[in-house]
């Protein structure tokens, strides 16, 4: 029994997916379809850079999705029979709907490209900041955010990644105050993140209507397996709910700890297979669900070993 996990922003690096395209025709075709859909040589930016292009939000998001979709194009036939659920972190939730058969890879890439552009536009409209808090319980981080927020400046716990790892998001001064509050409560480290906006916070509200419209006009099928939604940590089995919750996800926290607990309860004894760049989600899972079985499929070597 398998649960597929799809990574989010931060996992990108120049060279990603190049080995997959060279060794697997199905991966190469997926990259080509996504390039065609976007009207951009995204696979070339992924494979060759420059890094300054790859790290632009409207490129990064479809690049990570393309990598996950390319891996799925190669291993999906093997995993399909045992697939019971999927989940993705932030933009990875769109990749999870590709795995669940609700979105074609090219359609999902168009959506996350639009999402990235809308998020980039919302950033300068009300500049925001994000910071990772390590070594402090989530409820303590949330208390520091409440203390640091005012009617005009807000800080929220935006990514609840592990029991002792949370990302702050919001207005720069409020995020700084919340970070100090976290240190005062015993956080080991507070690390400012290089981002173009305050993702998963109320500051992203200007992007919601545009994304809702894009989600509504996209071509959807009903998911073949449930996808655990970031915003609510509930399994989604209907495309209408998927569209609503993906729009909500822009301003809602990524409830990753609850998502993984829900997935583990939904599919007892599952093997969690992370597809796409890196192995961040597998590392987080081991801290959330101790003893969970994991497998990462990101490189051509990983995929060949699995298929063999």
Active site residues: 90, 200
* CB-neighbour burial class of residue 121 (10 A; exposed 0-12, middle 13-18, buried 19+): middle
Q: Given phi > 0 = left and psi -120 to 50 = alpha, else beta, which region is 225?
A: beta
Q: Residues 182, 209: contact at Cβ < 8 Å?
A: no
Residue 186, by phi and psi: left (phi above 0), alpha (psi -120 to 50) or beta? left
> DSSP states of 215-272 as a string?
HHHS-----SS-EE-TTT--EE-SHHHHHHHHHHTTTS-B-HHHHHHHHHHHSTTPEE
Is the distance from CB of 304 to CB of 285 less than 8 angstroms?
A: no
């Amino acid at each position: 029994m398998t649960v597929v996990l799809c990574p989010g922003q931060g996992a990108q690096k120049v060279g990603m997916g190049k080995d997959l395209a060279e060794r697997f025709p199905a991966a190469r075709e997926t990259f080509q379809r996504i390039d065609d859909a976007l009207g951009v040589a995204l696979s070339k930016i992924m494979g060759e850079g420059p890094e300054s292009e790859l790290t632009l939000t409207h490129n990064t998001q479809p690049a990570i999705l393309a990598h996950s979709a390319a891996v799925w194009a190669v291993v999906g036939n093997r995993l399909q029979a045992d697939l019971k659920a999927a989940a993705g972190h932030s933009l990875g939730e769109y990749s999870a709907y590709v795995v669940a058969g609700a979105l074609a890879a090219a359609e999902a890439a168009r959506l996350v490209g639009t999402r990235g552009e809308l998020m980039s536009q919302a950033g300068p409209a009300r500049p925001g900041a994000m910071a990772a808090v390590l070594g402090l319980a989530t409820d303590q981080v949330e208390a520091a955010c409440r203390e640091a927020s005012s009617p005009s400046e807000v800080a929220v716990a935006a990514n609840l990644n592990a029991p002792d790892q949370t990302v702050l998001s919001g207005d720069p001064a409020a995020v700084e105050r919340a970070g100090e509050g976290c240190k005062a409560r015993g956080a080991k480290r507070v690390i400012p993140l290089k981002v173009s906006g305050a993702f998963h916070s109320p500051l992203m509200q200007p992007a919601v209507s545009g994304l809702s419209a894009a989600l509504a006009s996209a071509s959807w099928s009903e998911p073949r397996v449930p996808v655990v939604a970031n915003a609510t940590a509930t399994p989604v089995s209907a495309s209408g709910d998927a569209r609503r919750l993906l729009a909500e996800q822009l301003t809602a926290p990524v409830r990753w700890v609850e998502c993984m607990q829900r997935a583990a309860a939904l599919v007892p004894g599952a093997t969690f297979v992370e597809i796409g760049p890196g192995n961040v989600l597998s590392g987080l899972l081991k801290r959330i669900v101790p003893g969970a079985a994991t497998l990462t499929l990101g490189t051509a070597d990983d995929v060949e070993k699995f298929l063999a």
